[in-house]
Chains A and B, each alone.
Chain A
C-alpha cells in the first residue's frame, strides 16, 4: 500500500460545481497534513493545512478523519482558475524529521 494515495482523476466539472477529493494515508502516527495546489509546469503552492477539527478558507474546506486515515478537500462554487492538480501531503513522523510524503495528485479541470 502506498503511503499516500489519491484518485488521479481527472475530475472535469462545470463552473459553479462542488467537487471533493479524498486522500488516504497508511501511517496512523502521521502528524501533519496539507493540501497543495500545482499548476501545469509550476511549483506546488500551499493551499491549506489540515487540522483535526477541520478548517475552512473561503470556498475550500479540509477535513481529517484519523480513525479512517483519510483527509478530504471540498471546493465549492468552482472557478475556472481552480483548474490545477491538487497534492495531498502528509508528515508521517513525530519529532525533528521534517520529511513529507507527497501524493501523486488529483487533476481538476473546471469548464465554462
Chain B
C-alpha cells in the first residue's frame, strides 16, 4: 500500500539530547513537510522540501534540522537548542506536478515528550 510512515509513534527524550524523527513515503511525491502541533494550536510548519537535496525553513525552524538526500525520506532532528520540544510531530507529502498538487497527505505522527 502507498503511504507515509513515521517512526517511532512515541518518543521520550531527556533534556539536552538530540533526537531524529523518521518520515518515509512511497507515494513518489516530490514535496515533503514537517509540522508540529501543540494542544489548542494549529499546525505550524517547521521545514519543507520541494525536491531532493533542497529544503526551506518554515515558520518555526529554530532548534530543528532536516535533510533530503532521497526522495522517499525526510528525517527531522530535534536538537537540544529547541526550547520546548514536547509536541505532536506530523510529516506530510504532496505531489506538486499532479492534479491535486496542493493536497498534503500525512503520516500518523510522532509524539515526542521531553523528560
Interface residues of chain A, those whose CB is within 8 Å of chain B, are 31-32, 34, 41-46, 49, 87, 91, 96, 98-100, 102-105
Contact = CB atoms under 8 A, between A and B. Distances in A.
B61 to A, nearest CB: 13
A103 B41 CA distance: 9
Listed residue (A32, A98, A104) with the most chain B CB atoms within 10 angstroms of its CB = A98
Contacts of B111: 41
A68 to B, nearest CB: 22
Contacts of A45: 106
A104 B108 contact: no
A98 B96 contact: yes
B82 interface: no
B108 A91 contact: no
B42 A100 contact: no
B113 to A, nearest CB: 13
Contact of A43 (B101, B103, B107): B107
B21 to A, nearest CB: 14
A103 B42 contact: yes
B103 A99 contact: no
A41 B103 CA distance: 21
Given A98-B31, A98-B94, A104-B41, 18 more contacts: A31-B102, A32-B102, A34-B103, A41-B88, A43-B90, A43-B109, A45-B106, A46-B105, A87-B42, A91-B102, A98-B33, A98-B50, A98-B96, A98-B102, A99-B45, A102-B43, A104-B42, A105-B42
At the interface, is chain B mostly helix, strand, loop or mixed? loop
Given A49-B103, A104-B42, A98 B48 contact: yes
Contacts of B105: 46
B110 to A, nearest CB: 10
Contacts of A104: 40-42
B100 interface: yes
A105 B39 CA distance: 12
A43 B50 CA distance: 21
